[in-house]
Amino acid sequence: MVGVIMARKAAVAIVLALFGSCLGLAEAQSSAAHRVAAFAKLPNWSGLWEWDVLVGQADGQQLSTEGARKAQLYVAAMQPTYNAAWQPKYDQLKRALQAAIATNPNDPPATQSPCQAPPFPGIALPGVFEWRVTPEETTLINTLGSVRHIYTDGRSHPPKDELWPTRMGDSVGHWEGDTLVVDTVATKPLIRVIPVEVLKYGPFEVAAPMSDQLHTVERIRMVNNDQIQIQATIEDPIALAKPIHVTVTHVRVTDTNRITDEDLCDNDRNPVVNGRFTTTVH
């Protein structure tokens, strides 16, 4: 009799285990189906992309005539209007930069290595971009080594006491149809002025001294098969008198033979020596 009871209990245990396994399998299948459905709703941003200023780039990493024209328009759009308290900081940086350039006009100072991962927003800098879109996050990868995570899983920014500035900041986003809306805070302030030389078209500068209160909202969408547009509104209550509004365009890379960033960076052909780029011969 005891043996019969034990056998029945064992049979019941096996049935319950099998039932539990079936429930787990059903839940996994349901989760997988839900994820497939979530992927199906996302836009396809696959491929390689670059800032449209660099299209038609000439030999020697020089901008084309059209690229230089677009670059000037971008710089005009991105030029900050500082408030009265912050303007002197910019003026001081500009005077220091002009003095450094004056010592050797043909070899301006290097404010950032071409092989250093670009900080946020990094969308208007050299390099080739790859957008990886998943239901949980969109990841922006640059060939110069920067990786930006835009979380779309419903999370909010961390509390202020758990938030500290980083080069990429903290980005959370959500989808409005085929448009990714991104909110970014806690970016590490860049107190500097970056000079950029554009061939014979003359120098221009991107002024970028901001505070740690920088706040950016981007609306990113693919406008056609070969263009992604990023509409950005940049606010800084400490530094700016008014927000900056700019639209940056990424275009699809069709000639992958032009992707040579790794060659430029791996062999250290252009190290920074005494604050200036130096070309070495191997």
Would you write out the chain's pLDDT as a tens digit for each of its 282 residues? 545 555 555 555 554 555 555 545 555 455 778 888 888 889 999 999 998 988 876 545 577 888 888 888 887 888 889 999 999 988 887 787 778 777 877 766 655 555 555 566 666 666 789 999 999 999 999 887 788 999 999 999 999 999 988 888 999 999 999 999 999 999 887 654 444 443 333 444 555 678 889 999 999 999 999 999 999 999 999 999 999 999 999 999 987 665 554 444 554 555 555 555 455 444
Distance CA 186, CA 188 (A): 6
Residues 163 and 73: beta-carbon distance below 8 Å: no
Distance CA 127, CA 125 (A): 7
Closest of 206, 249, 233 to residue 93, by C-alpha: 206
The residue with tokens 């938030």 is 163
How much is the pLDDT for 48?
Answer: 93
Cis peptide before 159, with omega less than 30 degrees from 0? no
pTM of structure: 0.75
Distance CA 149, CA 133 (A): 10
* CB-neighbour burial class of residue 56 (10 A; exposed 0-12, middle 13-18, buried 19+): exposed
How much is the pLDDT for 235?
Answer: 93
Residues 183 and 171: beta-carbon distance below 8 Å: yes
Closest of 156, 152, 197 to residue 43, by C-alpha: 152
How much is the pLDDT for 21?
Answer: 58
How much is the pLDDT for 49?
Answer: 93
CA distances from 172 to 44, 181, 200, 236, 242 (A): 20, 8, 41, 18, 23
How much is the pLDDT for 255?
Answer: 75
**Helix residue spans in the chain (DSSP H):** 2-40, 65-78, 87-103, 261-266
The residue with tokens 């003026």 is 91
Q: What length does the chain have? A: 282
How much is the pLDDT for 84?
Answer: 96
How much is the pLDDT for 69?
Answer: 86
The residue with tokens 């303007």 is 87
